[in-house]
């Protein structure tokens, strides 16, 4: 039996940008993907909120991992849309993604992004939906 989480963590570790940001894959299975990202000052914009590009990166990567859980590891994001709901503040960001529908070559996925306060309270700050496609 394949240890999907270990495989996913190995894939994440091969992504130089994800390593640079400090992203951690904490769940990876057929039902859900979860990525965590400590919210450092370097990832914030001028008002102290997480930069929108950071939220977008996290959603995109979580969507792709979710699609890959159904379609296999050779996948790329074909497209995605993100809605920012509130400014992201706190100590950490969490992206939780799952597959809505998977066909033979594409999967439609959804991701909820949360900001986590110092005392552990989660608030949804963005939602995204995307299409993940097989590359081979």
Q: What is the pTM of this model?
A: 0.95
Query: Residue 1: its pLDDT value, please?
Result: 55
Domain that holds residue 88: 4-134
Task: Please report where in the chains the tokens 């552990």 appear, as a residue.
Answer: 120
- Domain containing residue 109: CATH number: 3.10.129.10
User: Taking the CA of residue 111 as centre, how many other CA atoms within 13 Å lie in the half-sphere pointing to its CB?
Assistant: 35
pLDDT tens, per residue, the chain with 136 residues: 569 999 999 999 999 999 999 999 999 999 999 999 999 999 999 999 999 999 999 999 999 999 999 999 999 999 999 999 999 999 999 999 999 999 999 999 999 999 999 999 999 999 999 999 999 7
Query: Residue 136: its pLDDT value, please?
Result: 75
Which of 95, 96, 97, 91 lies closest to 116, judged by CA?
91
How many domains does the chain divide into?
1
106-116 and 92-102 strand pairing: antiparallel
């Amino acid at each position: 039996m394949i240890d999907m989480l270990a495989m996913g963590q190995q894939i994440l570790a091969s992504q130089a940008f994800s390593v640079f940001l400090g992203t951690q894959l904490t769940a990876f299975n057929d039902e859900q993907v979860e990525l965590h990202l400590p919210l450092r000052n370097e990832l914030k914009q001028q008002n102290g909120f997480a930069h929108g590009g950071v939220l977008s990166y996290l959603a995109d990567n979580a969507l792709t991992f979710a699609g890959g859980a159904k379609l296999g590891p050779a996948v790329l994001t074909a497209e995605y849309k993100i809605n920012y709901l509130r400014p992201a503040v706190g100590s950490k960001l969490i992206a939780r993604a799952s597959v809505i529908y998977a066909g033979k070559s594409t999967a439609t996925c959804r991701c909820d992004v949360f900001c986590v306060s110092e005392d552990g309270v989660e608030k949804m700050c963005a939602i995204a939906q995307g299409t993940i496609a097989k590359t081979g």
